[in-house]
Structure 1
Amino acid sequence: MTEPIPGPVIAGVDGGPTSPDALALGRWFAETLGVPLVVAVVHAAPAALGSGRIDAEWVADRHRAAQQVLDAARKDLEDVRGEVDYRMVASSSAAHGLHDLAEETGAALLVIGSGRHATKERLAAGSTADRLLAGAACPVAIAPAGLPTPTGQRRIGVAYVDTPDGRAALTAAAEVARRTGDTLRLYTVVAEADATLPFLIGQDAERAFLETARETYESSLRRAAESVPGVTAEWQVVAGDVVDTLADLDEVDVLFCGSRGYGPARRVLLGGVSTRLVRRACRPVVVVPRS
């Protein structure tokens, strides 16, 4: 039985070339999770120490520009199912405004487009994404440039390791798969044999070490797949560079990953793998804070 998910999905847009990607992915998540969609545009707030009339005119101009972005979003979402709320948020920065809105609404997910200079079909987190991914209180999804919204039978991927972060990513991905009936695919990436290692410990010892590590990962994945009832779950251990392998997973429609294993709970704090992954992935990536 699925549990109700509190809070809406927030799609942050700015009228730039990546806004349609954020709208499309946000819409899909909102309809999938059965929650409202909030389309948010952040515009400049009046400065505490401004230049009077000049500052007020500039803020008013930014307010009008934000309204135009929302009007364009309304046209793009005319046929959306479910509730859509359009919000303008005054803040000192886009990331700060979206942070505040997510906490105010108890958002289930925050969705943004990739960086303006992202190549088509690849992620490249922009400055707003970088700041959002440094402390967001809810999962953050980044949409690659130019990819179509998932349709039909999908495969929900999870970059899994048996840590609090990995288990949080699995829980979030399983909830989506449970609601859609899609297949859940768990991946653990193990490093390939190091050519220098045999000289230190010998070929036989290295082979035994790698086999033991693989058996441990396979056992962990099997237990994880069995821990999500009501979901068809598959798993795979893949040898290779962790970031390269996960970034090139074009067989999944969306990839969930944890943030990192330290820092305050319930906050997204990127580690080495997740930082590089959101800059290179060819599919939408959802970074989940540990619970």
Structure 2
Amino acid sequence: MSAPVIVGVDGGESGRDALVLGEWAAAVLGAPLVVAVVHPAPAALGSGRVDAEWVADRRRSAQAVLDGARAVLTTAAEYRTVASTSAAHGLHDLAEQLGAEAIVVGSGRAGPRHRLFPGSTADRLLAGSVCPIAVAPAGLERAPGTLGRIGVAYVDTLDGRAALEAAARLAARTRTPVRIYTVVADADATLPFLVGQDAEHAFLDTARETFEQSLRRAAESVRDLPVDWEIRTGDVVDQLAELDDVDVLFCGSRGYGPARRVLLGGVSTRLLRRARRPVVVVPRSG
């Protein structure tokens, strides 16, 4: 079996968003689609006993969730139930077992519509995954593939380059343009006012020139695809969260920690809670 796209569902409203995003990703990547529900593993009640009736009920509930997923999808998929101590742990184990291309989840049930608000499953998945994690915002109105652009939140680091590489692979499949975004802080947020406006503006000009150079190099590194770039000014999360003209936005995890693991930093965490479009967090490759 080639590397699949795994969609984790739990019967909540966010599951439909995840299924829409996951079905599109699998089709674009030419990957098998696996829909998974994690149910509690049998736990001992004492003296080696387990509540067999409760376990059987959880299994029936998981099957009912899968039946609901079948009604949403329009393409073939493999359906699995996984017994584990937690939903995140079960999806992690399944991803490692299958060598998954990506794990797709919906936003948390308590999240506002049109905004990402990962519940506990997404939060735990995003802490240490070996493959990219895609999170669909609640109430996904425009399906991926309808806007014709792949976005990348970029800083010239290992994490930023990993995000760009993953985005370019997807864009090569869809034959859509890539836009690379970098955000520069407002003047008031960069240096103390005692430094003086002249020095502050000189600093900002230098920073912008540095970012422009790194963005040009990043764009030139992507072959055979239309790539442009944009520097925005303001709070990085505010600017990236409001993007509404990309099919998906790729971003890196934080710039330290084990290679090939997603380890969220502060920007990625806040972005996932507020983004209007699907976000894919990519583990750095080395």
Bucket of the pairwise TM-score, normalised by the shorter protein: over 0.9
- Counterparts of residues 125-274 of structure 1 (less than 5 Å): 125-147=118-140, 148-194=142-188, 197=191, 199-274=193-268
Partner of 2:51: 55
Residue equivalent to 2:23 = 27
Residues 1:93 and 1:236: Cα distance change in structure 2 (over 3 Å):
same
* Partner Cα distance (1:65, 1:32) in 2: 31
Moved more, 37-46 or 152-161: 152-161
In the TM superposition, residue 6 of structure 1 has moved relative to its aligned partner by 5.3
| Paired position in structure 1 for 2:13 | 17
Aligned to 1:120, the other structure's residue is in SS state coil
State the shift of 1:151 in Å.
3.4
Match of 2:90 among 69, 94, 97: 97
Pair 1:221–1:74, CA change in 2 (3 A): same
CA contact (8 A) 2:250 2:280 kept: yes
Partner of 2:33: 37
TM-fit CA distance, 1:152: 3.7
Change (3 A) 1:131 1:211: same
Contact 1:153 1:182 (C-alpha < 8 Å) held by counterparts: no
Which SS does the other structure have where 1:197 is aligned?
coil
**Please, which runs of 5 or more residues in structure 2 have no aligned partner?**
none
State the 1:120 CA deviation: 1.1
Deviation at 1:199, TM superposition (A): 3.5
Cα deviation for residue 53 of structure 1 reads 6.5
**Contact 1:138–1:266 under 8 Å retained in 2:** yes
Q: 1:209 to 1:20 in 2, by over 3 A?
A: same
**TM-score normalized by structure 2?**
0.95
Distance in structure 2 (CA, Å) of the matches to 1:20 and 1:256: 21
TM-score normalised according to structure 1 size: 0.94
Alignment root-mean-square deviation, CA = 1.7
Question: Matches of 1:63 and 1:51 in 2, distance apart?
Answer: 23
Unpaired runs of 5+ in structure 1? none
Q: Residues 247, 50 of structure 1: CA spacing in aligned structure 2 closer, same or farther, 3 A cutoff?
A: farther
Q: Per-residue CA shift, 1:132-185, capped at 9, x if unaligned?
A: 000111000000111131234511110000000000000111111010011101
